[in-house]
Amino acid sequence: MLAKSPIVKSNIIGQRRGHKYKHSSVSHQIFLEPPPRAPLALPNSLPIPTLAECRASMTTDQKIRFYWSVCHMFVAAYTGWMGGHSAAIQALSHLIFYDGLGALLCVLVEVFSNFEVWGRSSLVHPFGLQRMEVIAGFALSILLIFFGFDLISHTAKHALEGVGHAPHHPHNHNPVPSGTLEVTAVLAIASTLVSAVALKNHARIGKAMRFAAMQNLPSVLSNPSHFLTLSCSATLLLLPALSLHTYQLLDKALSLSIALAMLFLGTHLAVNVGSMLLMSYPSKEVPSVIADIAADPLVRSVDQAKFWQAHYGLCITNLKLRVEGGDEALVKLRERISSLVRNRLSGGYGH
C-alpha cells in the first residue's frame, strides 16, 4: 500500500521569474544591445591652480613683469605722496596706479595661461577661465570711473572753498618744491614706456579701449590710457616755467581734464567689456561683415547671422546661409568667412 504524502501548495507562484527573453535566441534578433557610448569630449571640470603652483610655473619673463607691475604701483604711490597740493600730480598718480593694475592683470593672465584650465573648455567652465579676465577688466573700468568722480569732487571742493568767504584753513597753493614736478613727470613717462614698449602690458585689455581715430598712431599712443599718461606728464614739465597764477589755473584745468577723460575712458571700457559679459557684440562692423558675406558669389542669401564675444580672444559667429557649389567650394567659402570675421571683428587676434 502506497503512502500518500500531503499536497503542499507552492508559496512562490507569484515569484516566478518567467522566461529570460533577453538570453533567448529569438530576443537576440529583436532586442539589440545599445551601441557603446564614447566618453564625453569635455571633462566635467579641471583643477584650479593654487598659489604655490602659480609661483612654480612662472617663467623668468613673467617674474620680471610681475615685479615691474609692483614697482609701477610704487611709482604711483610716490607720485601721489610727492604731489602735495598739486591737483594735476594727484590726477597723474591715479593714472599711473591704474596703469600698474592693468599691468598686474596682464601678468596674472599670462601665469594662468600656463595651466590647462585657462584655455580648455569643461562642463563647469565652457570657455575656460578666460571669462575671469573679462570680469577683472570690467572691475578696472569701474575703478577708472570712480577715480574720475573722485578727482572731480576734489577739484570742485578746492574751487568752491573760497567762494563767499575766506576759508578757515586755507591750503598752501604754492607750487610744489623745485624739481618735484620734473622728477614725477620723468618717472611717469619712464614707467609707462617700459610697460608699453619693453613689457607690452595692456596688450589685451587695451584692445577694448582703443578708438578708430587713434589706430594710425604709434602702438604706444594708440592706447588711450598710455596716451593720457604721457600727455599729462609732458604738460607737467611745462608748469615750472609759468607764473604762480597761471600755474594754479593750469593745474586745476589739467586735473579736471584728466578726470573727464577718465570718466569717458572708463565708460567706454565698461560698455565694451560689459557686452562680453552679456555675450553680445555691439560693433558697428557687424552690418558691413554681413553685407560682405552676402556679396560672395557662392552665397545666395543670409537667412540668419548672430555674433557675440565670450572674451578678448574668442568671437563666436552663427550663420545660416543658402549657398551653391560643390563640397570643395563650400570648404573654401567657410575659410573665407572665418578669415573675414576674425580680421574684421576680433582684430586678427581671436578665434
Residue after which a domain boundary falls, among 277, 308, 336: 277
Residues 64 and 114 in one domain: yes
Beta carbons within 10 angstroms of residue 25's beta carbon: 6
Residues 264 and 327 in one domain: no
pLDDT for 26: 54
Which percentage of the chain shows pLDDT scores above 90?
A: 20
C-alpha cell at 43: 571633462
CA distances from 197 to 94, 189, 220, 239 (A): 21, 12, 7, 27
C-alpha cell at 53: 603652483
Q: Average the pLDDT over 233-251 and give the result.
A: 83
Q: pLDDT class for 119, splitting at 50, 70, 90?
A: confident
Residues 336 and 230 in one domain: no
pLDDT for 94: 92
**Is residue 351 situated within a structural domain?**
no
Residues 231 and 210 in one domain: yes
**Is residue 38 situated within a structural domain?**
no
Q: Between residues 27 and 75, which one has the greater pLDDT?
A: 75
Q: Between residues 20 and 110, which one has the greater pLDDT?
A: 110
Residues 190 and 213 in one domain: yes
pLDDT for 51: 92
pTM metric for this prediction: 0.76
Residues 340 and 309 in one domain: yes
pLDDT for 31: 59
Phi, psi of 309 (to 5 degrees): -125, 125
Phi, psi of 115 (to 5 degrees): -110, 155
How many structural domains compose the chain?
2
Q: Average the pLDDT over 162-173 and give the result.
A: 50
**Is residue 168 situated within a structural domain?**
no
Containing domain of residue 147, as a range?
Answer: 57-158+178-277
Residues 65 and 134 in one domain: yes
Residue 73 has pLDDT above 60, yes or no: yes
Residues 228 and 320 in one domain: no
Mean pLDDT computed over every residue of the chain: 80
Residues 232 and 300 in one domain: no
pLDDT for 181: 80
Residue 347 has pLDDT above 60, yes or no: no
Q: Average the pLDDT over 230-237 and give the result.
A: 88
Residue after which a domain boundary falls, among 238, 261, 277: 277
Q: Between residues 219 and 319, which one has the greater pLDDT?
A: 319
Among 205, 220, 248, residue whose Cα is nearest residue 98? 205
Q: Which residue has the cell 611709482?
A: 75
Cα separation, 96 vs 144, whole angstroms: 11
Kindly report, residue by residue over 181-230, the tens digit of the pLDDT.
888 889 999 988 888 877 776 666 666 666 655 666 666 677 788 888 88
Cα separation, 58 vs 284, whole angstroms: 39
Phi, psi of 300 (to 5 degrees): -85, -40
Q: Average the pLDDT over 153-162 and give the result.
A: 76
C-alpha cell at 273: 567689456
Residues 266 and 305 in one domain: no
Residue 276 has pLDDT above 80, yes or no: yes
Residues 289 and 273 in one domain: no
What is the CA angle 158-186-72, rounded to 5? 85
Residue after which a domain boundary falls, among 221, 246, 277: 277
Q: Which residue has the cell 596682464?
A: 106
Residues 267 and 296 in one domain: no
Cβ contact 244:175 at 8 Å: yes
